[in-house]
Amino acid sequence: MQPSSPQGLVLRIDAKLCHVEVDGERRLLPLAGKLFDGVSGEKRPLAVGDRVVLDATGKAIDAVLPRSSQLHRRASTEGEERAQVLAANLTQVLAVASVSSPPFQPELVDGILAAAARERIPATLVLTKSDLDPAAAASWRAVYAHAGVHVLATSVQAGSETAAALQEIGALLHQNRTVVVGLSGAGKSSLLNAVVPDVQLRVGDLNHIRQGRHTTTHTELLPLPGGGHVLDTPGVRNFHLFCTGSQELQFLFPELAALLPQCDYRSCLHAEEQKCAVRAALDAGRLAPSRYRSYRTMLEAALDAERLEVRGGKPEQRGKGRRRPGRR
Ligand SMILES: Nc1nc2c(ncn2[C@@H]2O[C@H](COP(=O)(O)OP(=O)(O)OP(=O)(O)O)[C@@H](O)[C@H]2O)c(=O)[nH]1
Ligand SMILES: [Mg+2]
Ligand SMILES: [Zn+2]
């Protein structure tokens, strides 16, 4: 790399072209083959939010600079387990979930929050469409507040009483590089339209969304007039953690990890063990059943992956020091 090589910021990635901001202007650059060399375990070598170095001609991407953070999940491909990096170099995650239409999906939300926690990216849960079911909004808010998550309930309907929450989200956006993640139709683009002046993102028709059509089809990094950047993303149906060990998992659920010192076994996984403080809290109604269910589903997936490794199913990922792809 030459010291004078120009650098850029990845704004959007299409099938073969990458939109890169260089010196304040947008360039369309090819996704060169050599970028794919040496990047194993990842579905794509680049993510929106990556900082890149261009070659001397300024017309091709030469290298990707190390990421300060990334939000990734397990890609839903067959064969070798791969990571799909949704966005890079973030300082904030907004997990967006509607309380109704489409219904709230705790496992998806818990997956996003756990992935953010694993990367130590501060996250906020935004409960959208609270106008449709204020009681559900209040009860999910209580569940997540108990889990130590910052929660805001919103509605973009005229006359809604969530102006203060929308204002708070606007302020958070201007201080950060934020990725907005959630189910298709949850109201991500509508939320951004409500809090960012003049952004005018396309908003979906729920009938189309029910047929599986996403409204937002690309992740796009938008610079905000008042400072900060936001990444609107296409809806995700699931959020499975990538290569997360069974022992590590509970630390992504702070309200569970807080109970570990009271469990009889120091390495308690809160599954079938005797005298488990987490299961006692669940039985006593001091732990949300949905959070425990999400944890158990993720735990089973982690244990399955570990059993497969022991049997030699995936030699490239065997051993304690599992790689964390995406870090360059
Ligand atoms: N009642 C109500 N409807 C809302 C609210 N926010 C969004 N909607 C509706 O929900 C539908 C989907 O909104 P979008 O903003 O396109 O959802 P999205 O999450 O960006 O969807 P994708 O781009 O497909 O991922 C639209 O019909 C919106 O009008 C809200 O606060 N209240
Ligand atoms: Mg959208
Ligand atoms: Zn336990």
Query: pLDDT tens, 168-209?
Result: 999 999 999 999 999 999 999 999 999 998 888 888 887 776
Where exactly does CATH 3.40.50.300 map onto the chain? Answer: 86-232
Confidence class for position 327, pLDDT limits 50, 70, 90: very low
- How far CA 142 is from CA of 32, 101, 163, in Å, comes to 48, 20, 20
Alpha-carbon radius of gyration of the chain: 21
User: Per residue in 106-161, pLDDT tens?
Assistant: 999 999 999 999 999 999 999 999 999 999 999 999 999 999 999 999 999 987 78
Q: What is the pTM of this model?
A: 0.91
Q: Please tell me whether residue 78 adopts helix, strand or coil conformation.
A: coil
Pocket of ligand 1 contains residue 129 by CB under 6 Å: yes
The CATH code for residues 86-232 is 3.40.50.300
Residue nearest to atom 32 of ligand 1 (CA): 129
Of 104, 128, 183, 190, the residue with max ligand 1 atoms within 8 A of its CB, to mutate for a pocket test, comes to 190
Question: What average pLDDT does this structure show over 257-286?
Answer: 97
Confidence class for position 33, pLDDT limits 50, 70, 90: low
Where exactly does CATH 1.10.40.50 map onto the chain? Answer: 246-317
User: Per residue in 212-232, pLDDT tens?
Assistant: 677 888 899 998 988 899 999
Pocket of ligand 1 contains residue 153 by CB under 6 Å: no
Of 96, 169, 203, 219, the residue with max ligand 1 atoms within 8 A of its CB, to mutate for a pocket test, comes to 203
CATH architecture of 246-317: Orthogonal Bundle (1.10)
**Could you tell me where the beta strands, DSSP code E, fall in the chain?**
7-13, 17-22, 25-30, 51-54, 61-64, 70-74, 83-88, 92-98, 123-128, 150-153, 177-182, 220-223, 229-232
Distance from Cα 43 to the centre of ligand 2, integer Å: 23
Q: How far is CA 130 from the centre of its chain?
A: 22
Any idea which residue has 């300082």 for tokens? 91
The predicted pLDDT at position 226 comes to: 82
Question: What average pLDDT does this structure show over 53-70?
Answer: 91
Domain 7-66 has CATH 2.50.20.10: no
Where exactly does CATH 2.40.50.140 map onto the chain? Answer: 7-66
Question: What average pLDDT does this structure show over 263-279?
Answer: 97
What is the phi/psi pair of residue 109, to 5°?
-60, -45
Q: How far is CA 309 from the centre of its chain?
A: 26
